[in-house]
Structure 1
Amino acid sequence: MYKKILLPTDGSDYAEQEVERVSRLIADGGEIIVLSVAGKLTSSAFQSGRKVRKMNERLLKEAKDAVEHMADKFDSSLNVKKIVRTGFAAETINEVAAEEGVELIVISASGKSGLHRFILGSVTEEVLKTADIDVLLVHNS
């Protein structure tokens, strides 16, 4: 059993399987940290600052919604902390794990479809390669 588990989410529909596994692995009185990382776009010659700000606001809102959606799936008797950060996903996941003293990261093997699936796959792979703690890879089908 683990005292602190980090559960990164991208808002995909696979939350049920991850919630089930984390709920079984958390120690009595332990803490589950649900994290979503919003990417941050920068202005360029092709995108105005105003459009980029709007897109960043939307990405942040989606991250907040993803954390709320995932956290709501846990039994109310469990201690669930919600964190939303902006940055590069894999790097931020590992930073939060270190800051919070997490013992286990539970991450999905697949998430959204199309381009999002490719991106999530690369995030998952990067977390697996760079994490200093145990990582449980949940295969969703």
Structure 2
Amino acid sequence: MYKKILLPTDGSGYADQEIERVSNLIADDGEIIVISVAGKLTSSAFQSRKNVRKVNAEMLEEAKENVAKMVAKFDNSLNVRGVVKTGFPAETINKVAEDEGVELIVISASGKSGLHRFIIGSVAEEVLKTSDIDVLLVHNK
């Protein structure tokens, strides 16, 4: 059993499959941290600051909604906390895992990563490659 597990979510339906696995792996006195990472765009010659701010605000709001929905799906007897961050998803997930003293990252094999990633989503693949913490890659059915 693990004392602290990090569960990234991008709001895709795939992450729901992780709830049962995480619930079975967490110690009775353990903590589950659900995280969603909102990307952050910077303005360029092609996009105004106003448009970039609007898109960033929308991505942050979506991340907050993703976390709230995921946290609400867990049994109330479990210690579950939501975290929303801004940044590059894989890098941010790994940093939060380190900072929080997480023992396991449970991540879905695919999500909103595009059609070119059939087996492993790009964020999951990057977390798997770069994390110093154990990663459980959940196969989606």
CA RMSD of aligned residues (A): 1.6
The equivalent of 1:84 in structure 2 is 84
Distance 2:47 2:29 in 1: 48
Letter in 1 for 2:88: F
The equivalent of 1:4 in structure 2 is 4
Shift of 1:122: 1.4
The equivalent of 2:72 in structure 1 is 72
The equivalent of 1:62 in structure 2 is 62
Question: Secondary structure at 2:82's aligned position in 1?
Answer: strand
TM-score, normalization by structure 2: 0.94
The equivalent of 1:100 in structure 2 is 100
Q: Deviations over 1:57-93 (max 9, x none)?
A: 0000000000001111100010001100000000000
Letter in 1 for 2:17: Q
Letter in 2 for 1:36: S
Letter in 2 for 1:3: K
Distance 1:115 1:54 in 2: 27
Question: Secondary structure at 1:45's aligned position in 2?
Answer: coil
Letter in 2 for 1:105: I
Distance 1:41 1:75 in 2: 35
Paired residue total:
140
The equivalent of 1:27 in structure 2 is 27
Question: Conserved in 2, the CA contact under 8 Å of 1:111 and 1:117?
Answer: no
Distance 1:113 1:86 in 2: 17
Question: Secondary structure at 1:124's aligned position in 2?
Answer: helix
Question: Conserved in 1, the CA contact under 8 Å of 2:112 and 2:121?
Answer: no
Q: Go from structure 1 to structure 2 and tell me whether the alpha carbon gap of 1:138 and 1:95 turns closer, same or farther (over 3 Å shift).
A: same
Q: Deviations over 1:23-69 (max 9, x none)?
A: 00000010000000000000001100000000000000000000001
Shift of 1:133: 1.1
| Aligned structure 1 segments of 4 or more residues deviating by more than 6 angstroms | none
TM-score, normalization by structure 1: 0.94
The equivalent of 1:43 in structure 2 is 43
Shift of 1:113: 6.5
Gaps of 5+ in 2: none
Q: Identity, % of aligned pairs?
A: 76
Distance 2:114 2:6 in 1: 26
Gaps of 5+ in 1: none
